[in-house]
């Protein structure tokens, strides 16, 4: 009986922890739900049941609502992209911001093996609310050492803010990250940028569990132009 | 084509082949078959021990012929070996396969032979398996050496040719059990060529004598015995090589995981698309068809021979074309008919396709009379060669371990090298260094290629079940397949840092590192992280 009560309390606490921030955000008159368009799933079911402390558990359930400041817009559409691999063998760099999210062939760009980065120029400094990334969602795979940074410096030498880092052993040399690795799905990875300010978004990765290449289907950067 | 031009073209083909075969031999992670054979070779290198295992690992030649490479590089132990020492052996035989086609210049013409050398040099698949520490390229070299020697034996019989054919047949047999398929195809190819090349032709001379046959058989038997008996140390080896056929015959028909449709090889060569990349060796395949057609010309009574074959040597040239075409086609049919298929099994008949492609390209250039049309064909052939070079670089340099690459089969993922690197990293922080205890718990098929990568670690244990592996807590490093990883993680709680790594497509393993050891390692990796936003 006592065990059941404890379990019920724990379940209630977990639910509250998940719901209360949403409710708080919902009640915040300056916030609104970020409207996202997802591509169709390219594989059915959940991937092989891998459980380690650094890998996010796949629930199979859709992501909940995500709240951003009112007036938040998609800032990255058709914006210029450059990368550490300027001559990709597959795809073009502009695929990353062309608005096409499909996981099929012909919609992704492939950067070379090992550590590579890709950078989007928003054209002007902005307050970033969220970044949504689809590396490659035709197959359940995990991209290694995913790091996302924001800066006003195009060379990322000063004023760099890391908004996501799952490099848990500092392989990339950009600091140890506490974020979890995740399995790619059609939902993409939605990163809370917490209003980080910058004109440039740089995304790192270092191969994946299927091969040592780095892929991007689409990256969407949402925010408010900085005042 | 004069002799000098022909030699020059062969030289260029050999240089191109060497560049593609010898560069960055360490680029691709070791396939589990390569690793297994490397460890087996390590035992031969260290202790001189080798005994033919009829259940697996094919014949002995690969191991014995790797010895000179290890000696040349001053490597005397398994731990001292590296990928380059091992893979340079098939790479050299891959180069040798191209050089063998020099013996075809007087058989099929200089232009056709030079073309064959180029197509073999540039073939992505022939290059790929020349860079793999497996038997296939050695087998193709010995098989084609045998086929060429056998052809010459029938055109101009002599004792030397009989012995050469016998030695090469023995070496092919001592390399792979599928050599019997080559022997069967060669016999049928000879018969087809002999019967079809117009009885009564003035060029048709005597058959090899029974003495030639006996000399060839004796040479083949002696060569095979030397290798299978481990140079007289294991006489039973030659008997085992014969009884092995029962197992291999069963494997060929009950292929299990390796079962593929009949057109598996043809599809790979014709063209496949995989996640944005198109792979093809259609240039070779298409020209090989043209070569086969050229070989068929004159089959029917009254059909005139192509002009270049007119003259006193006409019979032998037609015989050669038909012998090579029939043998190659039969080989491809036999290998396609077997349920058991792996992409490297196409190497012996793909080498034949390269020969036929050389014949086809030569025939096309000769058949077209107007200069402009001939120039256009030459340009197209050059464009085809350029496409092969690009495909070759994609297959062997850019995507050598990528599952999209059609020549990649159950290949160790590059992701697995992170696991290997991490074990090596943490060993630096352990008081025992490379004598640190490492427990590997996985099915036998999932244990490889780790024994190769941890060959210089002295305390690595391999188990196929958790119970036998003993206590996990306190073990510095544990590698476990997924079925055991969850149990270990649940039992060990927070005492390990766990991370998963891809071993092969759809196969992952978990690396457990003792928490204290991990913290020590992590401290060394600390560089001042840049500003991280607080939640």
Length of chain B: 535
Same domain? A74 vs A132: yes
CB pairs under 8 A between A and B: 107
For residue A157, give the chain B residue with the closest CA. B530
Same domain? A95 vs A170: yes
Residue A87 touches partner B, C-beta closer than 8 Å: no
Chain-chain contact of A48 with B482 (C-beta, under 8 angstroms): yes
Q: A106 to chain B: which residues are within 8 Å by CB?
A: 276
Residue B276 touches partner A, C-beta closer than 8 Å: yes
Helices (DSSP H) in B156-235: which residue ranges? 159-173, 179-196, 210-228
Number of domains in chain A: 2
Taking only the tens place, the pLDDT of each residue in A139-189 is 888 999 999 999 999 999 999 999 999 999 999 999 999 999 999 989 999
Same domain? A22 vs A103: no
Instruction: Tell me the mean pLDDT in the region B267-273.
Output: 95
Helices (DSSP H) in A51-152: which residue ranges? none
Q: List, in sequence order, every residue forming a beta bridge with A208; answer none if it has no partner.
A: A143
Q: A209 to chain B: which residues are within 8 Å by CB?
A: 413, 415, 501-502, 508
Same domain? A17 vs A72: no
Of the given ranges (A23-27, B103-107, B222-226, B451-455), which has the lowest mean pLDDT?
A23-27
For residue B401, give the chain A residue with the closest CA. A211
Chain-chain contact of B275 with A91 (C-beta, under 8 angstroms): no
Q: List, in sequence order, every residue forming a beta bridge with B259; answer none if it has no partner.
A: B340
Same domain? A139 vs A159: yes
Of the given ranges (B297-311, B401-415, B437-451), which has the lowest mean pLDDT?
B297-311
Same domain? A114 vs A203: yes
Per-residue confidence band for B300, with pLDDT thresholds at 50, 70 and 90: very low
- Residue A21 in this model has a pLDDT that exceeds 70: no
CB-closest option in B398, B402, B486 to A51: B486
Residue B486 touches partner A, C-beta closer than 8 Å: yes
Residue A56 touches partner B, C-beta closer than 8 Å: no
So what's the pLDDT on residue A30? Answer: 85
Q: How far apart are CA B363 and CA B291, in angstroms?
A: 7
- Residue B433 in this model has a pLDDT that exceeds 90: yes
Instruction: Tell me the mean pLDDT in the region A11-24.
Output: 54
Residue A208 touches partner B, C-beta closer than 8 Å: yes
Q: A55 to chain B: which residues are within 8 Å by CB?
A: 500
Q: B498 to chain A: which residues are within 8 Å by CB?
A: 52-54
For strand A31-33 and strand A67-69, is the pairing parallel, antiparallel, or unpaired?
A: antiparallel
Chain-chain contact of A209 with B508 (C-beta, under 8 angstroms): yes
CB-closest option in B394, B527, B535 to A173: B527
For residue A55, give the chain B residue with the closest CA. B499
DSSP state of B397: I
Same domain? A1 vs A66: no
Taking only the tens place, the pLDDT of each residue in B80-113 is 999 999 999 999 999 999 999 999 999 999 999 9
Chain-chain contact of A211 with B399 (C-beta, under 8 angstroms): yes
Residue B422 touches partner A, C-beta closer than 8 Å: yes
Q: B527 to chain A: which residues are within 8 Å by CB?
A: 170, 173, 175
Q: Which helix (H) or strand (E) holds B511?
A: strand B507-514
Same domain? A16 vs A102: no
Mean pLDDT over the full length of chain A: 87
Q: How far apart are CA B230 and CA B223, in angstroms?
A: 11
CB neighbour class for B35 (10 Å; exposed up to 12, middle 13-18, buried from 19): buried
CB-closest option in A50, A106, A108 to B482: A50
User: Which residues of A51-188 form beta strands (DSSP E)?
Assistant: 67-69, 73-74, 81-83, 109-111, 115-134, 147-151, 161-165
The C-alpha angle B485, B486, B489, rounded to 5 degrees, equals 85
The C-alpha angle B475, B478, B481, rounded to 5 degrees, equals 150
Distance from CA of A143 to the nearest CA of B (A): 10
For residue A49, give the chain B residue with the closest CA. B482
Residue B522 touches partner A, C-beta closer than 8 Å: yes
The answer to whether B513 and B488 have CB atoms below 8 angstroms apart is: no
Taking only the tens place, the pLDDT of each residue in B321-365 is 999 999 999 999 999 999 999 999 999 999 999 999 999 999 999
Residue B499 touches partner A, C-beta closer than 8 Å: yes
CB-closest option in B404, B508, B530 to A50: B508
Question: Which residues, other chains included, contact A3 with Cβ-Cβ below 8 Å and sequence gap of 6+?
Answer: none
Chain-chain contact of A176 with B489 (C-beta, under 8 angstroms): no
Same domain? A15 vs A101: no
The answer to whether B531 and A160 have CB atoms below 8 angstroms apart is: yes
Residue A67: CATH number of its domain: 2.60.120.260
Q: How far apart are CA B133 and CA A180, in angstroms?
A: 38
For strand A67-69 and strand A214-216, is the pairing parallel, antiparallel, or unpaired?
A: unpaired
For residue A159, give the chain B residue with the closest CA. B531
Q: B482 to chain A: which residues are within 8 Å by CB?
A: 48-50
- Residue B149 in this model has a pLDDT that exceeds 70: yes
Mean pLDDT over the full length of chain B: 91
So what's the pLDDT on residue B187? Answer: 97
Q: What is the largest distance, in Å, between two alpha-carbon atoms of chain B?
A: 94
CB-closest option in A169, A170, A209 to B413: A209
Same domain? A63 vs A13: no
ipTM over 0.90: no
What one-character-per-residue DSSP string does B406-435 give?
A: TT--SPPPTTHHHHHHHHHHHHTTSTTGGG
Per-residue confidence band for A62, with pLDDT thresholds at 50, 70 and 90: confident
Chain-chain contact of B510 with A52 (C-beta, under 8 angstroms): yes
Q: Can you tell me whether residue B507 is helix, strand or coil?
A: strand
For residue B393, give the chain A residue with the closest CA. A89
Same domain? A51 vs A123: yes
Please state the φ and ψ torsions of residue A141, each to the nearest 5 degrees: -145, 165
Q: B529 to chain A: which residues are within 8 Å by CB?
A: 162, 165, 174-176
Full domain range(s) for residue A134: 34-225
Distance from CA of B87 to the nearest CA of A (A): 22
Q: B275 to chain A: which residues are within 8 Å by CB?
A: 105, 138
CB neighbour class for A35 (10 Å; exposed up to 12, middle 13-18, buried from 19): exposed
Taking only the tens place, the pLDDT of each residue in B10-60 is 999 999 999 999 999 999 999 999 999 999 999 999 999 999 988 878 999
The C-alpha angle B377, B383, B385, rounded to 5 degrees, equals 105
Taking only the tens place, the pLDDT of each residue in B159-211 is 999 999 999 999 999 999 999 999 999 999 999 998 887 655 555 567 889 99
Q: Dihedral (C-alpha) B168, B9, B362, B318: value to the nearest 10 degrees?
A: -30
Residue A207 touches partner B, C-beta closer than 8 Å: yes
Same domain? A151 vs A107: yes
CB-closest option in A108, A144, A174 to B276: A108
């Amino acid at each position: 009986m006592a065990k059941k009560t404890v379990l019920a309390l724990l379940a209630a606490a977990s639910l509250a922890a998940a719901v209360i921030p949403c409710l708080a955000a919902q009640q915040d008159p300056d916030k609104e739900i970020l409207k996202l368009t997802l591509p169709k799933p390219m594989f059915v079911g959940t991937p092989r049941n891998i459980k380690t402390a650094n890998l996010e558990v796949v629930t199979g359930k859709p992501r909940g609502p995500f709240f951003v400041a009112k007036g938040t817009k998609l800032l990255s559409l058709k914006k210029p992209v450059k990368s550490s691999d300027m001559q990709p063998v597959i795809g073009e760099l502009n695929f990353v911001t062309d608005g096409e999210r499909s996981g099929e062939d012909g919609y992704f760009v492939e950067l070379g093996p090992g550590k590579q980065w890709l950078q989007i120029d928003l054209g002007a400094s902005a307050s970033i609310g969220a970044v949504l990334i689809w590396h490659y969602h035709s197959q359940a795979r995990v991209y290694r050492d995913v790091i996302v940074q924001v800066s006003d410096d195009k060379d990322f030498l000063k004023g760099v803010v890391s908004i996501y880092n799952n490099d848990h052993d500092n392989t990339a040399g950009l600091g140890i990250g506490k974020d979890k690795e995740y399995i790619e799905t059609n939902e993409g990875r939605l990163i809370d940028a917490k209003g980080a300010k910058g004109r440039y978004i740089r995304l790192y990765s270092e191969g994946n569990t299927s091969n040592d290449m780095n892929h991007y289907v689409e990256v969407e950067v949402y925010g408010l132009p900085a005042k | 084509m004069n002799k000098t031009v022909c030699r020059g073209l062969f030289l260029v083909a050999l240089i191109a082949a060497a560049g593609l075969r010898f560069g960055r031999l360490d680029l691709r992670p070791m396939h589990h078959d390569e690793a297994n054979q490397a460890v087996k070779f390590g035992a031969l290198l260290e202790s001189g021990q080798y005994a033919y295992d009829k259940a697996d690992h094919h014949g002995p030649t690969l191991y014995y012929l790797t010895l000179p490479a290890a000696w040349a590089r001053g490597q005397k132990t398994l731990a001292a070996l590296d990928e380059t020492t091992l893979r340079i052996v098939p790479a050299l035989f891959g180069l040798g396969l191209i050089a063998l086609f020099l013996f075809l210049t007087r058989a099929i013409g200089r232009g056709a032979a030079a073309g064959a050398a180029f197509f073999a040099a540039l073939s992505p698949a022939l290059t790929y398996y020349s860079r793999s520490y497996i038997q296939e390229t050695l087998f193709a070299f010995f098989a084609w050496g045998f086929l060429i020697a056998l052809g010459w034996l029938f055109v101009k019989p002599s004792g030397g040719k009989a012995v050469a054919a016998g030695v090469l047949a023995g070496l092919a047999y001592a390399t792979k059990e599928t050599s019997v398929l080559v022997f069967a195809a060669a016999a049928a190819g000879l018969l087809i060529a002999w019967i079809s090349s117009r009885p009564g032709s003035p060029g048709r001379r005597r058959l090899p004598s029974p003495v030639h046959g006996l000399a060839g058989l004796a040479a083949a038997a002696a060569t095979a015995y030397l290798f299978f008996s481990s140079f007289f140390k294991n006489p039973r080896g030659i008997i085992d090589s014969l009884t092995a056929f029962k197992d291999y015959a069963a494997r060929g028909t009950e292929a299990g995981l390796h079962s593929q449709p009949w057109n598996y090889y043809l599809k790979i060569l014709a063209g496949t698309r995989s996640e944005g990349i198109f792979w093809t060796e259609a240039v070779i395949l298409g020209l090989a068809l043209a070569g086969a057609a050229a070989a068929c010309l004159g089959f029917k009574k009254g059909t005139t021979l192509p002009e270049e074959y007119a003259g006193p040597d006409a019979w032998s040239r037609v015989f050669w074309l038909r012998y090579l075409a029939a043998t190659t086609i039969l080989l491809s049919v036999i290998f396609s008919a077997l349920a058991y298929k792996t992409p490297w099994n196409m190497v012996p008949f793909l080498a034949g396709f390269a020969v036929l492609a050389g014949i086809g390209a030569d025939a096309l250039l000769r058949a077209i009379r107007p200069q402009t049309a001939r120039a256009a064909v030459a340009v197209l052939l050059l464009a085809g060669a350029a496409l092969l070079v690009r495909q070759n670089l994609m297959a062997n340099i850019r995507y050598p371990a990528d599952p999209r690459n059609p020549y990649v089969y159950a290949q160790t993922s590059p992701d697995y090298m992170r696991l290997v690197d991490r074990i090596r990293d943490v060993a630096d922080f352990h008081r025992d260094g490379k004598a640190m205890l490492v427990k590997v718990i996985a099915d036998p098929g999932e244990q490889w290629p780790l024994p190769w990568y941890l060959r210089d670690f002295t305390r690595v244990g391999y188990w196929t079940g958790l119970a036998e592996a003993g206590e996990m807590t306190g073990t510095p490093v544990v590698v476990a397949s997924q079925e055991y990883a969850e149990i270990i993680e649940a039992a060990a709680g927070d005492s390990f840092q766990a991370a998963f790594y891809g071993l092969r497509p759809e196969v992952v393993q978990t690396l457990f590192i003792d928490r204290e050891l991990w913290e020590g390692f992590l401290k060394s990796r600390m560089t001042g992280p840049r500003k991280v936003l607080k939640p």
